[in-house]
Structure 1
Amino acid sequence: MTRFFMAVGRHRRLIVALALAVAVVFVMAHFWVPTLAQRAFPTLAVLVLGTLALATVVLALPRPRAFEVRSQVPAFSTPSSPAAVFLMLAMLIMAMELTGTVIRDLDTTETFVDRLLPLGAVVLTVQLAVGVWRGQGIELRPDGLRDREWAGTLIVPWDALPVVPLPRPTDPRGTLPVGYARPELVRRHGLVTSRRRLYTDNIDQRFVARVIRYYTTHPEHRSAIGTRVEYDRLLSAISDPPSGPPDQDL
């Protein structure tokens, strides 16, 4: 099961592309078969429940204590979250059903207000799909760290001297508080939720906090970030080897 979840996260863009293509075909088919959404409702309901169940299973698992080594960037990146992929698929299926119903009822007296729910579902689906496609989470580079959100990136140079607490091992929160000795160096690109919290839904908080604290106080090792040799040395230095799946050299 763990390998399945890893594959889902690794191939998230392919899954998004295929799912959107199927959704477009399904919606367009309603112009020829107006009752398609009604006929397919039981199957779509099972698919929604199935994807939500998979997302729940992923969220219940311990977060991995490992980075992906992306030598071509170079960077250490948090693994892609399969839970985000499953949530996007569930929302996409619901948006398909609701949009198909709107097409079926185009010739009725249905008001614009009645169509707000399908419109909201489509907007939320697009947001989730963009987030899955971009990838979300923390990325460490030789020049600093980046926190990727669905529509923007928080860029924190190492010279800003980010300060993060060391969370308790059982801390369930999905964000990590962060402060800066030089906040004027912190930049935003696009829409960013907060400059004071880092997204950690897809990695162990205590592990990533140790890594950030290490590179903040050991500038001599920053230039090697993104290499396999440096990653192995880092794990040895912080004495906190990864307990999650082995990282993937992308």
Structure 2
Amino acid sequence: MREIIDAALRRQRRAATGAVILGALLGLLCLLWKDDPARLLPTAAPLAVLFAYYGFFRRPSRAGLRQAPDRSAFYAPPRGAVTFVSVFLAWLPSQLVWYGGRWERDAFWWMFLLGSVAAIAVVGHRQWTRLPMLRITPDGVASDGPQRAMVLPWSALDPLGPPPATEHDSELRLPLARPEQVTRRRRRRAEERVWLRDLDVAPPHLAAAINHYLRHPEHRAAIGTPEEFARLRRALGGAS
């Protein structure tokens, strides 16, 4: 499982680095060609396509959970390189170069510069250290790793489970019965929410799998094994 996480994190880091470079280059081209409107449209088109793809045309995932090679978990991997964060990391440097190169160096310019650099640094650091991945293990549900991972023990989750999900849901609500058992660095609250847009798993399938193990604790110990994976697929109607 560690090898899968490391490989996915390397891909995410390459995508983040490429997004920043792409955005800076597009901003520079727009700045150089600001007096030639005919060139601005094709220069800005790649970012517009990325925004449209992610925001409007990206279809929800229909995949099921995967089995970890080391038999430690069933997991949902990151969906791909084009995420909201990668689009943001391309858009913000383009705006920084484009507008920053045109404005006078006044106080507002410096505020814009410092704010943009700080935003790129914070978001870039998150892409460097945190991975959108969810794992269902014998101990519970874990998400957002490898650093600052959140672990939800089965005993912490509400026995009624998450509400049914539709294929277009962007997040999954996980009600908590014992918030104090949740491993995290944030304040306690009555539920956790898992962001689904960047996970390669169908929301209904994920919700059904979690509900299944909440209602059938006798099967939790076998989570991660090929036999349990096959049994789970049959129990959920053959989703893969």
TM-score by length of 1: 0.67
Deviations 1:213-247 (A, max 9, x none): 221232332233233332222111x23332xxx5x
2:69 is the alignment partner of 1:71: yes
Partner of 1:54: 53
CA-CA distance at 1:72 after TM superposition: 3.4
Q: C-alpha distance in 2, partners of 1:241/1:121?
A: 47
In the TM superposition, 1:115-130 aligns within 5 A as: 115-130=110-125
Deviations 1:146-189 (A, max 9, x none): 1328984331112324442442546x432222223333212214
One of 155, 169, 187 as aligned partner of 2:183 = 187
Q: C-alpha distance in 2, partners of 1:22/1:184?
A: 39
CA-CA distance at 1:124 after TM superposition: 4.2
Partner of 1:239: 236
Deviations 1:19-74 (A, max 9, x none): 526846986x9xxxxx6551376554112012123323553x23324113223372
Give percent identity, aligned residues only: 22
Deviations 1:64-111 (A, max 9, x none): 2411322337222223133x7343333223233234357746xx8522
Q: C-alpha distance in 2, partners of 1:18/1:205?
A: 25
In the TM superposition, 1:1-250 aligns within 5 A as: 13-14=10-11, 16-17=13-14, 20=17, 23=20, 38-39=31-32, 42=41, 44-56=43-55, 59=58, 61-72=59-70, 74-82=72-80, 85-101=82-98, 104=101, 109-132=104-127, 134-148=130-144, 152-163=148-159, 164-167=161-164, 169=166, 172-189=168-185, 196-199=191-194, 200-201=196-197, 202=199, 203-236=201-234, 238-242=235-239
Cα 1:151–1:117, aligned 2, differ >3 Å: closer, same or farther?
Answer: farther
- The gaps in structure 2 that reach 5 residues or longer are 1-6, 34-39
Secondary structure of 2:184's partner? strand
Q: C-alpha distance in 1, partners of 2:165/2:8?
A: 32
Q: C-alpha distance in 2, partners of 1:192/1:46?
A: 42
Cα 1:218–1:231, aligned 2, differ >3 Å: closer, same or farther?
Answer: same
Q: C-alpha distance in 2, partners of 1:66/1:150?
A: 21
Partners of 1:48 and 1:93 within 8 A in 2: yes
Partners of 2:156 and 2:178 within 8 A in 1: yes
